[in-house]
């Protein structure tokens, strides 16, 4: 197989997949929702790539401590169809704030929050330049901001929605049907890799880093924070902001669990209907949620891979082995 290709923008990755430049890629979970039900593209979600792994980061020049302090602010999101946009707007609605999409030069009311797209690699520099007050994104850009520009984690997304999916493994459905052997081997490898990462987080940081195999142009020190930096003494009660409010959830800053629980897909589809985005989103109102879950997600390959890798129990304490393929979603703002 060819080595993976690094793509900086979600829009570029999305277009590349739609034009068949990649057989396999990872996507922000809401993107294949848009692909399948708006573009009618035969995408299939085969597994979750990781859980949690994102945060809302606020600038050092702001005095933002909680969602209630975000009124009148400029916040960058990586893509409209992203878990980040969904979870951010859940938090804004919870405190009575209104997300808007407008020029950053336009005036904002005290109860409004302006959202706009920014590629993740550009977020820290935009924060330094005071073009944005905060951003919500996946790692390592939160750790970069913490360690390089003295920004603060306002809230980890995994402390809002327990073990939520973020990026998912996607393939063209036609390829899964025409070449199921290839598809199974790919998913087997991804599941084995996730199981290995759980046992070897610091080695993973080294491999991914600039000093290792340079999969990410980021130092090992920063990636070590990503894979191990979830100390309650640093982020929990008594800290400002308090990025961890649920000490009892037993989650990680970034976690790995490959099985795509239908309950999470249902909640994503429901929340997308309430999430402000640019473009035509009327297709979301017409989705029949239960039918959409089975149409979008194929669990055949991942179940087989998990069984061969030793079972779901190795993927964290959040798995209920009495009902391993079912869970209830936990959301608390």
Mean pLDDT confidence for 84-92: 99
User: d(Cα 27, Cα 331) in Å, to the nearest integer?
Assistant: 22
* Residue 309 CB coordination number (10 Å): 18
Locate 124 and state its tokens.
């820290």
Question: Buried (b) or exposed (e) across 176-194, using 16+ Cβ within 10 A?
Answer: beeeeeebbebbbebbeeb
Examine the pLDDT at 137 and tell me if it is beyond 90: yes
Segments in the chain forming alpha helices (H): 10-18, 30-37, 83-94, 123-128, 141-149, 173-178, 180-199, 201-208, 220-228, 232-235, 262-272, 289-296, 300-308
Q: pLDDT category, 59, cuts 50, 70, 90?
A: very high
CATH number of 148's domain: 3.40.190.10
If asked whether residues 62 and 121 sit together in one domain, one would say yes
Average pLDDT of 225-252?
Answer: 97
Name, in order, each residue with C-beta under 8 angstroms of 97's C-beta and a sequence gap of 6 or more.
67, 68, 70, 71, 111, 112, 113
Q: pLDDT averaged over the chain? A: 96
Q: Give residue 34's pLDDT.
A: 98
Of 3-7, 135-139, 157-161, 241-245, which range is least confident?
3-7
Model confidence band, residue 322 (pLDDT cutoffs 50, 70, 90): confident
Total domain count for the chain?
A: 2
C-alpha span between 27 and 25 (Å, rounded): 7
Q: Are residues 176 and 67 both part of a single domain?
A: no
Query: Based on the domain organization, do 119 and 265 belong to the same domain?
Result: no
- Residues 36 and 176 grouped into a single domain: yes
Evaluated on CA atoms 320, 252, 141, 83, the torsion sign reads positive
Residue 63 sits in the same domain as residue 76: yes
In a domain, 200, yes or no: no
Return d(Cα 179, Cα 197) in angstroms, integer: 28
Q: Is residue 64 part of a domain?
A: yes
pLDDT of residue 140: 98
The yes-or-no verdict on residue 3 having pLDDT over 80 is no
Structural domain for 146, as ranges: 52-163+229-249
For range 116-125, the mean pLDDT: 97
* Local structure of residue 49 (DSSP, 8 states): -
- pLDDT surpasses 80 at 7: yes
Same domain, 94 and 234: yes
Question: Cα(first)–Cα(last) distance of the chain, in Å?
Answer: 43
Same domain, 115 and 158: yes
Residue 74 lies in a domain: yes
Per-residue pLDDT tens digits for 166-199: 999 999 999 999 999 999 999 999 999 999 999 9
Q: Residue 1 has what pLDDT?
A: 65
Q: Strand order of the sheet with strand 152-156?
A: 98-100, 112-117, 74-77, 134-138, 54-58, 152-156
Same domain, 309 and 178: yes
* pLDDT cut 70: percent of the chain above it: 99
User: What was the pLDDT predicted at 317?
Assistant: 67
Classify the phi-psi angles of 66: left when phi > 0, otherwise alpha if psi is within -120 to 50, otherwise beta: beta
* Residue 216 located in a structural domain: no
Do 97 and 123 fall within a single domain?
yes
Average pLDDT over residues 225-232: 98
pLDDT band at 139 (very low <50, low <70, confident <90, very high): very high
So what's the pLDDT on residue 6? 82
Across 128-150, average pLDDT = 98
Domain annotation covers residue 208: no
Q: Is the pLDDT of residue 2 over 90?
A: no
């Amino acid at each position: 197989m060819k080595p993976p290709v690094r793509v900086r923008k979600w829009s570029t990755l999305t277009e590349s997949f739609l034009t068949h430049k990649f057989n396999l890629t990872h996507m922000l979970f809401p993107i294949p929702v848009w692909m399948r039900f708006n573009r009618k593209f035969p995408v299939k979600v085969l597994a979750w790539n990781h859980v949690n792994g994102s945060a809302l980061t606020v600038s050092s020049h702001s005095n933002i401590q909680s969602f209630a302090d975000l009124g009148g602010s400029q916040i960058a999101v990586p893509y409209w169809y992203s878990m980040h946009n969904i979870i951010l707007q859940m938090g804004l609605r919870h405190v009575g704030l209104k997300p808007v999409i407008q020029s950053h030069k336009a005036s904002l009311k005290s109860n409004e929050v302006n959202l706009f797209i920014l590629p993740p690699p550009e977020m820290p520099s935009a924060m330094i330049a005071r073009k944005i007050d905060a951003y919500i994104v996946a790692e390592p850009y939160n750790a970069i901001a913490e360690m390089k520009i003295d920004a603060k984690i306002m809230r980890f997304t995994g402390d809002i929605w327990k073990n939520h999916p973020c990026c998912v493994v996607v393939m063209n459905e036609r390829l899964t049907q025409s070449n199921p052997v290839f598809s199974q081997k790919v998913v087997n490898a991804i599941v084995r890799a996730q199981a290995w990462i759980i046992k070897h987080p610091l080695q993973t940081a080294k491999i991914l880093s600039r000093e290792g195999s340079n999969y990410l142009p980021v130092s090992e020190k920063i990636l070590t924070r990503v894979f191990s930096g979830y100390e309650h003494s640093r982020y929990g009660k008594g800290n400002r902001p308090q990025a961890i409010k649920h000490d009892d959830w037993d989650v990680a800053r970034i976690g790995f669990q490959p099985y795509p629980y239908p309950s999470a897909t249902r909640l994503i589809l429901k929340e997308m209907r309430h999430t402000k985005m640019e473009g035509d989103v009327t297709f979301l109102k017409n989705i029949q949620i239960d039918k959409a879950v089975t149409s979008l997600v194929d669990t055949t390959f991942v179940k087989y891979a998990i069984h061969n890798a030793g079972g779901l129990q190795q993927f964290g304490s959040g798995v209920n082995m009495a009902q391993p393929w079912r869970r209830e979603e936990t959301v608390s703002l």
